[in-house]
């Protein structure tokens, strides 16, 4: 979440940033934050002064008792007792103001970086660059859900029987292709210096709050109410929370982690043709890369992460484009986001396969993830993450773009992982 320092020292900048994210009534929201924070500070100051006075009076009582001045000592003791009652009220007032302040701050989104373009929706995103070449498909090319049925790779109906829509069953070479992609992505991340983590697939509410899924996206997460645990929407959540309430040494940064996990998303309100087949699922596989860095270096880390994801789609031979998201299409927590989309030739549409984001200090403030600099000063870290990569739409594009009369060709980079070079 935003820091009080940001809000009080750069109020106008924060207001303009929140307006770029289409946040309603930012000025009023910040004024309320400042009002409640002043209330908290006033109560804290008065409490600190009273506690200092109580300490001083307590010493005076001891001295008076030594001098045999019991009546004077009793009078001061009564005053101290009255002050302690007042201190309890001040403490309650301060705690109430702190809770209200945290609630207000947790419902205000991150401020976008100055390079984020204006805009309200995906139509306003800026294409940074494009790469790869669109395949020349045969006239009878078919979409991936038909290819999956033709070659017995994915059974969508069986998934409906076992669980429900959006939970496909992968079979034979379809399952092997999933495993091949996961291992390929993890090996590429390892070679790029990322330490592999195998995280839990369920997290507590504190972890969901730390990375910003709660309270903003509570309705999109699967909630195990009996234990108050949440199925993860991405490995970002457990991996970034490794560093919750941790003070790192500056020499340890940047920290580079990667993790494979299943991801679970309710995708409430998603209907229509855009959710056909693998286009939108409730459960899917993904490899995530996460970085913890200093503010001075985090944008260099962002460039490196973008280059890493771009290298993956190039090795898979997929046509792609990189989008710089506009303010209105960014996530609640992000300061800047670049989306990767691959072209699905049979569907004739672009499919998002990765988002690479810098959250600056927004997540770190919620997590209390800090580092101690060389001058021993403690500061908030910057956090970053990206999909490297999400499997479903990658698989959709691979199946569609590589279909031939003989079968579906496997990209050269994946052949050692698959153990076959064609699906026939």
> Which pLDDT score is estimated for 280?
94
> Which pLDDT score is estimated for 86?
78
Residues 212/244, Cβ–Cβ less than 8 Å: no
> Which pLDDT score is estimated for 118?
96
- Residue-wise burial string across 325-342, b where 16 or more C-beta atoms lie within 10 A, e elsewhere: bbbbbbbbbbbbbbbbbb
**Alpha-carbon span 40 to 98, nearest angstrom:** 6
Residue 385 is assigned to a ligand binding site: yes
- Asked whether the whole model's pTM tops 0.75, one would answer yes
- Residue-wise burial string across 209-246, b where 16 or more C-beta atoms lie within 10 A, e elsewhere: bbbbbbebbeeebebeeeeebbbbbbbbbbbbbbbbee
> Which pLDDT score is estimated for 273?
52
**Alpha-carbon span 325 to 337, nearest angstrom:** 6
**Alpha-carbon span 200 to 78, nearest angstrom:** 56
Residue 334 is assigned to a ligand binding site: no
Residue 249 is assigned to a ligand binding site: no
At a CB cut-off of 8 Å and minimum separation 6, what does 53 contact? 83
Strands 255-264 and 195-197: parallel
pLDDT in tens, 160-219: 999 999 999 999 999 999 999 999 999 999 999 999 999 999 999 999 999 999 988 888
248 burial class (0-12, 13-18, 19+ CB within 10 angstroms)? middle
pLDDT in tens, 361-372: 999 999 999 999
Residue 412 is assigned to a ligand binding site: no
Please state whether 228 falls in left (phi above 0), alpha (psi between -120 and 50) or beta. Answer: left
Tell me the residue length of the chain: 424
Residue 354 is assigned to a ligand binding site: yes
Phi, then psi, of 134 in degrees rounded to 5: -65, 135
Sheet holding 403-404, edge to edge: 403-404, 407-409, 422-423
**Alpha-carbon span 230 to 284, nearest angstrom:** 16
Q: What Rg value do the Cα atoms of the chain yield, rounded?
A: 27
Residue 301 is assigned to a ligand binding site: no
pLDDT along the chain (424 residues), means of 10: 96 97 96 96 89 80 76 77 80 93 96 97 97 91 97 98 97 98 98 98 97 90 97 98 97 97 86 79 98 98 98 98 97 97 96 98 98 90 98 98 96 98 97
Element (H, E) at 106: helix 70-106
**Alpha-carbon span 89 to 156, nearest angstrom:** 61
Residue 344 is assigned to a ligand binding site: no
Residue 353 is assigned to a ligand binding site: yes
> Which pLDDT score is estimated for 54?
77
**Alpha-carbon span 132 to 314, nearest angstrom:** 7
For tokens 């940064």, the residue is 253
Residue 72 is assigned to a ligand binding site: no
The closest of 24, 26, 33 to 4, measured between CA atoms, is 33
**Alpha-carbon span 288 to 256, nearest angstrom:** 11
Task: Please report the beta strands in 216-372, taking only residues with DSSP state E, as ranges in sequence order.
Answer: 223-224, 229-231, 247-249, 255-264, 283-293, 320-324, 336-344, 349-358, 370-372
CA dist 326 → 120, 244, 338 (Å): 7, 29, 10
**Alpha-carbon span 243 to 240, nearest angstrom:** 6
Angle made by CA atoms 244, 248, 251, in degrees to the nearest 5: 150
**Joined tokens for residue 101:** 């302040």
> Which pLDDT score is estimated for 240?
98
> Which pLDDT score is estimated for 88?
85
**Alpha-carbon span 284 to 278, nearest angstrom:** 9
Residue 234 is assigned to a ligand binding site: yes
Phi, then psi, of 93 in degrees rounded to 5: -65, -40
Residues 240/385, Cβ–Cβ less than 8 Å: yes
């Amino acid at each position: 979440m935003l820091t009080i320092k940001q809000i009080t020292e750069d109020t106008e900048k924060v207001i303009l940033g929140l307006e770029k994210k289409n946040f309603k009534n930012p000025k009023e929201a910040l004024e309320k934050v400042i009002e409640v924070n002043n209330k908290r500070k006033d109560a804290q100051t008065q409490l600190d002064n009273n506690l200092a006075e109580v300490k001083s009076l307590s010493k005076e009582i001891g001295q008076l008792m030594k001098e045999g001045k019991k009546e004077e000592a009793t009078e001061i003791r009564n005053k101290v007792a009255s002050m302690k009652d007042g201190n309890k009220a001040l403490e309650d007032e301060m705690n109430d103001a702190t809770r209200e302040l945290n609630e207000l701050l947790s419902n205000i989104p991150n401020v976008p970086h100055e390079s984020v373009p204006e805009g309200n929706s995906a139509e306003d995103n800026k294409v940074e660059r494009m790469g790869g070449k669109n395949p020349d498909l045969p006239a009878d090319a078919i979409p991936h859900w038909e290819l999956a049925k033709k070659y017995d790779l994915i059974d969508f109906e069986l998934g409906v029987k076992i669980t429900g829509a959006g939970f496909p069953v992968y079979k034979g070479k379809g399952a092997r292709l999933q495993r091949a992609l996961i291992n390929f992505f993890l090996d590429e991340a390892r070679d790029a210096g990322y330490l592999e983590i195998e995280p839990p697939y369920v997290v507590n509410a504190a972890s969901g709050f730390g990375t910003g899924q709660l309270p903003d996206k509570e309705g999109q997460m699967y909630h195990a109410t009996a234990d108050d645990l949440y199925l993860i929407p991405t490995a970002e959540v457990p991996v970034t929370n490794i560093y919750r309430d941790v003070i790192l040494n500056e020499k340890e940064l940047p920290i580079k982690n990667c993790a494979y996990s299943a991801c679970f998303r309710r995708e409430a309100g998603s209907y229509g043709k855009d959710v056909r087949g693998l286009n939108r699922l409730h459960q899917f596989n993904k490899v995530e890369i996460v970085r913890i860095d200093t503010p001075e270096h985090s944008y260099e880390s962002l460039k490196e992460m973008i280059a890493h994801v771009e290298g993956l789609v190039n090795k898979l031979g997929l046509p792609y484009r990189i989008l710089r998201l506009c303010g209105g299409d960014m996530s609640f927590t992000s300061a800047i986001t670049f989306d990767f989309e691959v072209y699905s030739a049979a569907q004739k549409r672009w499919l998002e396969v990765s988002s690479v984001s810098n959250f600056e200090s927004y997540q770190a403030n919620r997590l209390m993830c800090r580092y101690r600099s060389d001058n021993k000063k403690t500061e908030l870290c910057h956090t970053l993450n990206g999909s490297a990569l999400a499997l479903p739409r990658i698989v959709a594009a691979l199946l569609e773009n590589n279909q031939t009369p003989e079968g579906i060709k496997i990209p050269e980079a994946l052949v050692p992982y698959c153990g076959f070079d064609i699906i026939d």
